[in-house]
Amino acid sequence: MTADAGTNTPESFDEHRALSKLWFDEVMAIYDVAEAPAAEDSPSRPAEIASAQLAALRALYHEMRCGHELLAAQLAAVDKQTKALREVAFQLEKVASHLGDR
């Protein structure tokens, strides 16, 4: 899976991390409500649990998305660094072969 070049910014990492926290907080709020005595107009316990599960899945999605984007950015940086080191090695080999001719 590859990430779009435009999404590999610190802002998108922070955005996904913030959304993950938001959904996790939503899960905790739902479970807190589920543990409280039920009011007459509150949703049923199965609906509360389903809502909490959905919020948990959303939190996981955004946390994993953040991780995948970070990994893609790190791999791109390593690839760029590897190409630069290959170029340096090539140039040093040319210099070394030239010095060996003397």
Locate tokens 């999605």: which residue? 61
- Residue 77's CB is within 10 A of a number of other CB atoms, namely 11
Could you report the per-residue pLDDT of 26-82, keeping only the tens digit for each? 888 877 765 666 555 555 767 777 887 888 888 888 888 888 888 888 999 999 999
How far CA 27 is from CA of 17, 39, 54, 61, 94, in Å, comes to: 15, 19, 8, 14, 61
Q: Cα separation of 87 and 97, whole Å?
A: 15
Q: Identify the pLDDT of residue 67.
A: 83
Q: Identify the pLDDT of residue 86.
A: 96
Say which residue, 88 or 27, is predicted with more confidence.
Answer: 88
